[in-house]
């Protein structure tokens, strides 16, 4: 199945290390991040799961729940979580789906047959509280993810949902943003009464409105 940005994230019911997860119900009013791992007991995945666990305060600040997936079963997951805690110095407070039947993997298009028909690639889906898919990233199995970038995109999505702005290249939280082209100058004067910096007519910078509100 091919998932598109803007569509409703497919719902599912699947076992996890924290019990049965009914995905849409589990999300509640939160943002969600669903990210897959090729299999248990692999070195790159071990570091990734530890990184996500250490970022727990950051996910909480952003009202975001994280959910991992691996194609192995609960028995393997329980043993693997012990390895993660031992090697990464952190325990997992979030669930890991046991997707040995590949139900969720296939539902979200995480199996790329040209890579390996039995394993997932490193997929990431950011899902908003309305259950819409807002970001899709796919990494090859050999490359660990940059979760600082995923946090950065999450910040951008949450900011631009609140204000009529977009974020420029390499933007970081608190930096200047861009007034979207659909807002003309007359509308912009009402939305941004302190004015803006126009480099060219369609490139108008304003301070991060969260920082100035």
CATH of the domain at 181: 3.30.1020.10
Confidence of residue 121 (pLDDT cuts 50, 70, 90): low
In this structure, of 20-24, 33-37, 131-135, the range with the lowest mean pLDDT score is: 33-37
C-alpha neighbours within 13 Å on the C-beta side of residue 212: 13
In a domain, 150, yes or no: no
Structural domain count of the chain: 2
One domain for residues 48 and 133: yes
pLDDT at 11: 97
Rounded Cα distance between 137 and 3, Å, is 11
Domain housing 98: 13-144
Judge whether 82 lies within some domain: yes
Residue-level pLDDT at 115: 55
Q: Residue 38: which pLDDT band, with cuts at 50, 70 and 90?
A: confident
Q: What is the pLDDT of residues 123-157, one digit of tens each?
A: 999 999 999 999 999 888 788 999 999 999 999 99
Per residue in 50-108, pLDDT (tens digit) is: 999 999 999 999 999 999 999 889 899 999 999 999 999 999 999 999 998 989 988 99
33 given a catalytic annotation = no
**Mean pLDDT over each residue of the chain, to the nearest integer:** 92
**Other CB atoms closer than 10 Å to residue 145's CB: what's the count?**
19
Task: Give yes or no: residues 20 and 101 share one domain.
Answer: yes
The DSSP letter of residue 193 is T
User: What whole-number distance in Å separates Cα of residue 163 and Cα of residue 174?
Assistant: 14
Whether the per-residue pLDDT at 119 is higher than 80: the answer is no
Residue 174 and residue 135 share a domain: no
Residue 67 maps to a domain: yes
Residue 124 has which token pair? 């990431």
- Shortest CA distance to 70 belongs to which of 5, 4, 121, 109? 121
Q: What are phi and psi of 166, to 5 degrees?
A: -125, 165
Q: Is position 172 within any domain?
A: yes
Which pLDDT does position 164 carry in this prediction?
96
19 and 78 belong to one structural domain: yes
What is the Cα–Cα distance from 25 to 20, expressed in whole angstroms? 11
123 CB-contact burial (10 Å; exposed 0-12 / middle 13-18 / buried 19+): buried
- DSSP tag of 118: T
Is position 31 within any domain? Answer: yes
Query: Structure pTM?
Result: 0.92
Q: What phi, psi does 205 have (nearest 5°)? A: -95, 140
Catalytic residue among 34, 45, 71, 179: 45
């Amino acid at each position: 199945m091919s998932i598109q940005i803007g569509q409703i994230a497919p719902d599912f019911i699947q076992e996890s290390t924290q019990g049965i997860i009914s995905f849409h119900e589990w999300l509640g009013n939160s943002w969600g991040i669903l990210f897959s791992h090729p299999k248990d007991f692999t070195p790159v995945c071990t570091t990734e799961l530890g990184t996500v666990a250490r970022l727990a305060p950051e996910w909480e600040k952003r009202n975001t729940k994280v959910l991992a997936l691996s194609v192995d079963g609960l028995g393997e997951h329980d043993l693997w979580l012990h390895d993660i805690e031992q090697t990464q110095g952190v325990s997992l407070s979030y669930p890991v789906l046991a997707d040995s039947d590949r139900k969720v993997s296939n539902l979200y298009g995480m199996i790329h047959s040209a890579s390996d028909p039995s394993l997932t690639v490193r997929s990431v889906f950011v899902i908003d509280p309305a259950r819409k898919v807002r970001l899709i990233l796919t990494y090859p199995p050999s490359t660990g993810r940059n979760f600082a970038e995923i946090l950065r995109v999450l910040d951008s999505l949450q900011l631009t949902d609140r204000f009529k702005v977009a974020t420029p290249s390499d933007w970081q939280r608190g930096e200047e943003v861009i007034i979207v082209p659909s807002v003309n100058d007359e509308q912009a004067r009402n939305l941004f009464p302190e004015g803006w910096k126009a480099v060219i007519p369609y490139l108008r910078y304003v301070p991060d409105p969260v920082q100035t509100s």
